Chains A and B, each alone.
Chain A
Amino acid sequence: MRHVVLERWSRSDSILHRLDARAKLIVLLVYLVSLATLRDVGSLGIAAFVIFPLAGLPASRLPIPALLARSMLVLPFTLTFAAISFVAGEPERASAMLVKSYFSALAVLLVVASTPTPALFHAASSLGAPQALVVVLQFLYRYMFVVAEQAARMWSAALCRGAKTSRRSRKQSMVAASGMLAALFAKSYQRAAAIHKSMLARGFTGRIPLIELPRWRRADVAFLGVGSIFLLSARLLPILWP
């Protein structure tokens, strides 16, 4: 699955990986808001928003072509609407869509690829995300792999029994596929009940703790300060001195 790569990337080591997840999330939000509110992408002001994530690529010590390629996942959607805007006589809007969506996706990917998922969810929680949502996210992420593998095993079993080769009516195929989903639902439901019982037995209080609690270091504060000031200056200076 695609996200396994992301899990491997997030466990590497680099300057970007060592930064506090909260600092990275705040700077990411400043970047996204500044870029989203930028009106004229044809001006020099856009340069800062292109340079910023590009500078983060070598700092992450991750495979740069793979990061650039993975960010292109947004392009099928973006290119469709950019083409429509271009045909409708709005080339500026088309280029703005492409630049904004691609670099926003790259910035998000850089943060996610350089932060282990438990630390990312913990940072979201300490920045004010509702606790129940964060716990659901943690369970979802934890069991996404397990349930997806279960689904893949069921699909393999169905193929072994001639799911694709046998000539069945559409109704029969529909009944078979829905039966598979119902069985998957049943297994997931039973697994959830068993997980909860075993977690309660191990003293689960509603929060999934981190092995090591993150602490603000000078480098984190410096990254937060310099990054935010750089991005806000790039956004606000053209307004103050047009």
Chain B
Amino acid sequence: MSEIFVLTKRWPKKDPSLAGYRADGGYRSLEKALSMKPEEIVEQVKISNLRGRGGAGFPTGVKWTFLPKDVRPRYLCVNADESEPGTCKDRYVIEFDPHSLVEGIAITCYALDIHLAYIYIRGEFAKQARVLDQALAEARAAGLIGPKIAGRDFALEVHVARGAGAYICGEESALMESLEGKKGYPRFKPPFPAIVGLWGKPTIINNVETLANLPWIVEHGGAAFAALGAPKSGGTRLFCVSGNVKRPGIYEKPVHYNLKKLIVEDCGGPPSGLPVKAVIPGGSSSPVLRGDEIDVSMEFDALKAAGTMAGSGGVIVMDESVCMVRALSRIAMFYAEESCGQCTPCRQGTPWMEQILERLEHGEGTRADVELLEQLPGNIMGQTICALGDAAAMPVQSFVKKFKKEFLDHVEHRGCPLGDKAWGVYRETREALIGGIRQ
């Protein structure tokens, strides 16, 4: 079977304009959607088995049905906060094909009777925010969004809202707090956003990549999308491969593509020629896999069965030259920096884990420290309002479990056995392959 590209088919053309998008048949799916009943679109999305691409992998169509029937207004928040280390896909959807997102938003809003949508984009993506503003201006001028979308009696306004530097705002309730003009403190759930969301109203929050699939689903039907993937998990997804590989980049593959095949065949394996030591399969929160555990499907349920998560599709590859203590200490530093400070176990536990790991890496650690690292994450997991606590705990738990000898070696050697170059061997310039485009 030849490869089917849902999300990246237009990327190599590098023409993000409305004219270019329309020349390739763009916005025909919106026309088709507007001729359908809203509930028919929701049904097709359910049939498609589309699951959220932001990290949780929740079925999109099911999430949509959580909206209470008689409460208005409803809002759509598009999550473009893309901050999970190892994840760099939504930015390219926006850079190379912003109208696929805008069309997906318009279809979604029509299907759910939503008339106001915000694209919450991380503050660091200044260029991507400009691209979106430009695309929205084009769509507005062409009457594709505005008081009467595509000439129909349906009003839709879409705005870009930029964040200002906070990982936590990718968490959906913190995102809404931020959008309301506050610091990003996650809210208690339940109530879930579909019931009580932005400004207390029913709100659907979907990831950029999730919504960019909508035009294809409407054009080809939910069943065709479902057929691209595995049972209960349809379509393709964007895998971001980084770290020690010859060809890092963004690869659109069926959701159940094999992780080892992606790393070894598509990305060429480590440039050093050394074996793969460890792989983080779905962004830095996902439990690490040893090199001998990567012959697995990357589908959500398959990776769950393998003891980890498909998460956001951020695959980070480390070869034998990389020190696991050093890598984990950097990951721990990230969560300590990004903990919002609302819950004590996370606020206090994340810097504690970071300090223990720094001690170990610099030869000041003890066996008791390693034992502490085995126990401590369990006292954070499930004890916090949002999933950041779990996200910080899971890497620590998995790294120590799978590479325990390396942690104990740091105690015995009173330092890193791999020496000062603990980040391993790397080559300074490598070609990235972004959706078929050489960078």
Interaction A to B: no
Residues of A at the B interface (CB closer than 8 Å) are none
